[in-house]
Amino acid sequence: MGIHVIKMPDLGEGIAEVEVVAWHVQPGDTVKEDQVLADVMTDKATVEIPSPVAGTITSLGGAIGQSLAVGAELIRLEVEGAGNLSATKARQEPVQSAAPTAPAEEVAEPQLAALAHAGAPPQAVAAAPAPSVSKPVSNPASNPASSRATNPAARPAPQSAVPMRAEGDKPLAPPAVRQRAWDLGVELQFVSGSGPAGRITHADLDAHVEGRRNGAGGGSDERYAEQHGEHATQVIGLRRKIAEKMQEAKRNIPHFTYVEEVDVTELEALRIQLNARYGAERGKLTLLPLLMRAVVLALRSYPMMSARYDDEHNLLTTYDAAHIGIAAQTDNGLMVPVVRHAESRDPWSSAAEIARLAEAARSGRATRDELTGSTITITSLGALGGIVTTPVINRPEVAIVGVNRIVDRPVIRDGAMVARKMMNLSSSFDHRVIDGMVAAQFVQAIRGYLEFPATLFVE
């Protein structure tokens, strides 16, 4: 019998380290050749690591959430034959315990949940710094989303509340008591009555108010009971990568956000007509592929928007191709699959590719190539788009176009007030390389194509 060490392979494209996000085996398990051992996360994609040999697992190389450098030991197996590690070296090297635990680290409490992503790659999302919890998360290797609750004995427990009346049963109280309860902000539904037939008296109201001041449960409403639980979740895998990219983007890029309203009444009418005529054979169109076409046409006049900026070498690279990233929300977080060469696609081809990439991202099957290489990004929250957003740029890109929801609003046209379908575009730009005037002109060009949709199909 021998020892075979599997090291973290080089996944290409300059990746120096990965993060362990899942173990599919444990020490003592017997594995076959090509069986998946672990999932690791690169800067965007999750990659499965298979076993090149058959054998029995003796140790794991790290805990879930731990980063491993390329070439670092990932796993050890006991195999038939000599293995790839000599017996002398195997005795000299310490073997990690079967159940490694992650180093104790302070875990910050989440204070703000984004996603909705305001735009960004994403949907994404900036959060305020949170106070740290000094107690480390226990054994994240076995439970990557571990959470803990404060020992209830450490805090005084809220008193039990008086049972509410049955639904539909109105509290009995004279007008003077009702008026006084209103002035005090007390709901009589939660006040016990000592009078005939449960009638509430002034003394009952006084007792309820006094009990509430003293924290007694006799008159408290359980809907407003104090809560003292605390829960800490280790941020690992894709969620950690999203956090790192958001932090890098906000730290390094001076964002300039420009918002413009667009009348999409004619665009929506055209979309409905196209779907009625061609939807059965070519697929249904949403707003997104039409917006992509408008962006592609606007890029012809403003090619500096389809670019990537290397701030370490002060190098701005512009691209003739329009590789458009589409921010997509998944169960694990925001991902940005890329529609490559959008300039060569008609709206139906773009719609089909968007659907394919979105499904791949949500199911976790998106490849690294499908998640990298974008030159400009579009982000949309659909019906939740709000009025205005401030999208975060997908670094190292220099521009991101955000779509807000479509609403019917009154608009003055030819001196008359009419209802029109209005939508805001909230777009952010890297102010180091994109001037405000140029950014505004780019958005106005997109607006022109959307408000006169025939121009989307006229060269």
Known catalytic residues? 431, 435
- Cis before 391? omega within 30: no
Look at the block and give the residue holding tokens 């996603």.
115
DSSP letter for each residue of 285-307: --HHHHHHHHHHHHHHH-GGGSE
Q: Give the whole-angstrom CA distance, residue 19 versus residue 236.
A: 8
Beta-carbon-side half-sphere exposure of residue 306 (alpha carbons within 13 Å): 23
Q: Which amino acid is at 20?
A: V
Nearest to 58 by CA among 42, 79, 41, 43: 79
Q: Give the whole-angstrom CA distance, residue 72 versus residue 322.
A: 38
Q: Give the whole-angstrom CA distance, residue 423 versus residue 447.
A: 10
Neighbours of 98 (CB within 10 A): 12
Nearest to 37 by CA among 55, 25, 53: 25
Nearest to 335 by CA among 236, 238, 450, 226: 238
Check if the beta carbon of residue 224 is closer than 8 Å to that of residue 197.
no
Beta-carbon-side half-sphere exposure of residue 49 (alpha carbons within 13 Å): 25
Outline where 253-330 has alpha helix (H). 265-282, 287-301
Residues 6+ apart with CB under 8 A from 245: 43, 121, 394, 395
Burial (0-12, 13-18, 19+ Cβ within 10 Å), 301: exposed
Check if the beta carbon of residue 342 is closer than 8 Å to that of residue 322.
yes
Check if the beta carbon of residue 137 is closer than 8 Å to that of residue 230.
no
Q: Which amino acid is at 49?
A: I
Q: Give the whole-angstrom CA distance, residue 56 versus residue 231.
A: 37
Residues 6+ apart with CB under 8 A from 43: 15, 241, 245
Q: Give the whole-angstrom CA distance, residue 23 versus residue 25.
A: 6
